[in-house]
Amino acid sequence: MNLFTQKLPIILKPFILSLFLSLLFLAFLSLQTPRHTTTTTTTTHKPDLQIRRGYSSYDAYIQRQLNKTLNPKLRKIWTTRDWTRKIQVFSQFFNSLKQRGLLSNGSKALCIGARVGQEVEALKRVGVSDSIGMDLVPYPPLVIKGDFHHQPFDNETFDFEFSNVFDHALYPSKFVGEIERTLKPGGVCVLHVSVSKRADKYSANDLYSVGALVKLFKRCQVVEVRNVDGFGLDTEVVFRKKMNERL
């Protein structure tokens, strides 16, 4: 025992010893208690409709689309090897729409972004004779020249509009707005889109939910949503323009 404890009164020695042991015990507990650290995680939600960046101007976007549409190899494939196969598949889609009362032989029909017009030819073969396609590059007599952001048609022209190129729209709201402008009240719009995988390298937007597409339509209501297998596109969304929505 050291000199300090020897000089303490005898009555204080047990107290000092008890205090010393208590401090040792508390120190031991502090070492055994796990330390809790609070971590803050930030979750970023990807938009359900995302516009691809990289276009310096609208002209640059148009040129990018023309690079695909005017590609000689692709145009040869579209007009030869793919011609009959795509017409057959489109005919099945359109016959199904007729059976469900969404298309008739008397419908005045437009195919948006029709390239060389396989879907137009399919409409004619299933009996919808008053059909025309529109694309940046015309392909007479099935497809005329037009930009789907600024359709070259009067208000309330068509009973039926079909497109499988929504992913190529740089301005999706304008794409949809032009459909609603040129569609007659009670008319039907059918879009084939991809929501389960990224679209091709020429696409201008990526769609991650049907809800994001539905929100763009202001004068139409959803009639049907179903799964399809349409040349890499997996979802068919059918809209009908409200009867009281006149311009």
pLDDT digits (tens, 9 = 90+) for 163-202: 999 999 999 999 999 999 999 999 999 999 999 777 688 9
CATH of the domain at 96: 3.40.50.150
Q: How far apart are CA 72 and CA 116, in angstroms?
A: 12
User: Is residue 119 scored above 50 in pLDDT?
Assistant: yes
The more confident residue out of 169 and 246 is 169
Tell me what pLDDT residue 65 has. Answer: 95
Residue 231, in any domain of the structure: yes
The domain containing residue 88 runs over which residues? 49-241
User: Is residue 32 scored above 80 in pLDDT?
Assistant: no
Contact present, 46 and 208 (Cβ < 8 Å): yes
Mean pLDDT across the chain, nearest whole number? Answer: 88
Instruction: Count the neighbouring beta carbons within 10 Å of the beta carbon of residue 178.
Output: 22
Residue 68, in any domain of the structure: yes
Mention every residue, 6+ apart, whose C-beta is less than 8 A from residue 214.
222, 237
User: What band does 4 get if pLDDT is binned at 50, 70 and 90?
Assistant: very low
- The structure tokens 């015309």 sit at 138
Average pLDDT over residues 147-163: 98
Report CA-CA distances (Å) from 191 to 50, 214, 234: 18, 11, 11
How many separate domains does the chain show? 1
Residue 126, in any domain of the structure: yes
The share of the chain scoring above pLDDT 90, in percent, equals 73
Q: How far apart are CA 79 and CA 151, in angstroms?
A: 25
Average pLDDT over residues 102-128: 98
Residue 221, in any domain of the structure: yes
Residue 115, in any domain of the structure: yes
User: Is residue 19 scored above 90 in pLDDT?
Assistant: no
User: Is residue 40 scored above 60 in pLDDT?
Assistant: no
